[in-house]
Structure 1
Amino acid sequence: MIFIVGIFAYITVTQSKNIENPVTTTIVKTTEGLGYIEIDAVNCDTGDVYVRNMGSNTIEKNKITVKAGEESKRNSEEVNPSDVVRISFGHSVSGKIIAESANKRYYYCWEK
């Protein structure tokens, strides 16, 4: 019983880390045009984001290219927020955006 409680406590701390210490290292590079991407999962340890490109242009994220209408691939280390976060972007922009989802707050940065 103690072992199970210990695992639960570890998972809780791991998943809440981004609330207290928002991710600031994730880079999303956009190409020209307007559109949006959806955030489906976040790796709490590395800040890697699983994205779905819903726009009409190609997105490169952390050396992973996501073509229009396609998805990047998940890996086993990612955790799922309770719902999808959608962030909008424009072309030729560089800055930071705050996306909130179910009481979780994440910071996403991007460069032109």
Structure 2
Amino acid sequence: MRGQTKQFDGFFETARSICESSTHPDRDSLLADIHFCLGAIAMNASDFDTSRINKECSFNLVSKIRKELGTADDRLYLAYAERGISRTQDRRYEEGEADIKGALRIRKDL
């Protein structure tokens, strides 16, 4: 993932397609990580639309997992922060600010 993102070989796309068909109990957790990485790769390549889509997917999955468990953790903090960055890049400043504030609240609680 580091360095040559424009020549990326599609590892995470392959992993995502395999994971989406899985019934393993940790499927959503792994998918959240895959979408997070795809979002970071897209951001590094200045593909902000793809980055936003993947960060939203990652956030939704992490948020769902944390709700089911009834806890917040570093992953939820990071998902809020990354979604906030993505929304700020889209000039959705109020939503971005709300996400960053949410991330900071979680971080302080942790």
TM-score between both structures, scaled by the size of structure 2 = 0.25
Comparing both chains, which one has the higher relative contact order based on Cα–Cα distances under 8 Å and sequence gaps of 6 or more?
1
More strand by share: 1
Greater C-alpha radius of gyration: 1
More helix by share: 2
TM-score between both structures, scaled by the size of structure 1 = 0.25
